[in-house]
Amino acid sequence: MKIIRAEKAGFCFGVKRALDMAERTVQSSSTASLGPLIHNKQVVEKMERQGVRVVGEVKETQAGDTLIIRSHGVPPDIYDEAQRCQVKVVDATCPFVQKAQQLAAESSQSSQVVVVGDRQHPEVQGILGWAGGSAIAIETLEEAVELPFYEKLSVLAQTTQPAANFHGIVDELKKHTHELKVHNTICNATEERQTVARELAGNVEVMIVVGGKNSANTRKLAGICSERTRTYLIETADELENNWFTGVETVGLTAGASTPDWIIEEVYKKMSTMENNETHEMMNMEDWAE
Ligand code: F3S
């Protein structure tokens, strides 16, 4: 059985950066993160063992503590509250999210801001906060159709938005204003991983997707793969079952953006010890196609 690992899988740049910052911080001060740093139970537990506790609000910390802002970012009032509580902030907001926050703040000075994304998601709530409270979040084309007419509109995207949804909404918004500024703030890390996984799934008999079962991007990745081949979503190597691979010659392996390398490695190793396995380390998809 050949095991082919997706070329792009696991942590994106922003999540890796946030975890590195947390690891460095915990060595020197009492550290809390505002919400779990990532949607991965194993990583959150590991960070807790290292001393990073998870809090839901700034007031759960004490003066002198260090508070890590995760990659999703937060509205500006959180920084003010931390300062009032004498809590030091380590800001691990992903630079791509920060860019969207700045654009929202600037655009809100002269136009109505629309953010395309999940309005319940902390990243979107953070961006809305930077726009000063007047911004609107919409998720679907139907919601865009319902919007009234505005003299000037600026539209931004949650970084993980599917491009097709964003562009469809942008086309609709053109009918709702005299002047539309489009800020495409989609991060390509998600789409890149989805494209690579889709391609790989089309070339194997079974796909293994590793990641938190409560992680939206991992579930999405598994959904994309399952359209092409038999797919299993697992959180750890322990969940692998021998019978999934009976009579199978090629298996693909990918992982959600919140899955650390050490968990992917454990899964890979366990799969490699299953009967008659032949492993292909990080095979380039172009080589595979040849
Ligand atoms: Fe940043 Fe993109 Fe990851 S916005 S947190 S690098 S998905």
Q: How far apart are CA 210 and CA 193, in angstroms?
A: 13
94 is in an annotated binding site: yes
Identify whether 23 is a catalytic site residue: no
Q: Are 36 and 71 in contact (CB under 8 A)?
A: no
Count of H-run helices and E-run strands, the chain: 11, 13
Whether 76 shows a pLDDT value over 90: the answer reads yes
Q: What is the 160 CA–ligand 1 centroid distance (Å)?
A: 8
Domains of the chain listed by start with CATH number: 2-10+189-289 (3.40.1010.20), 13-94 (3.40.50.11270), 96-186 (3.40.1010.20)
Pocket perturbation via mutation, ligand 1, pick of 8, 11, 13, 101 by most ligand atoms within 8 A of CB? 13
φ, ψ of residue 188 to 5 degrees: the values are -80, -5
Cβ-proximal residues to 60 (8 Å cutoff; 6+ apart), any chain: 32
**Strand order through the sheet with 250-255:** 230-234, 206-210, 250-255, 2-5, 278-280
Over residues 92-143, the pLDDT tens digits come to 999 999 999 999 999 999 999 999 999 999 999 999 999 998 899 999 999 9
**Predicted model pTM:** 0.84
ipTM comes to 0.99
Q: What is the 187 CA–ligand 1 centroid distance (Å)?
A: 6
Answer whether 19 contacts ligand 1 (Cβ < 6 A). Answer: no
pLDDT category of residue 275 using cuts at 50, 70 and 90 = low
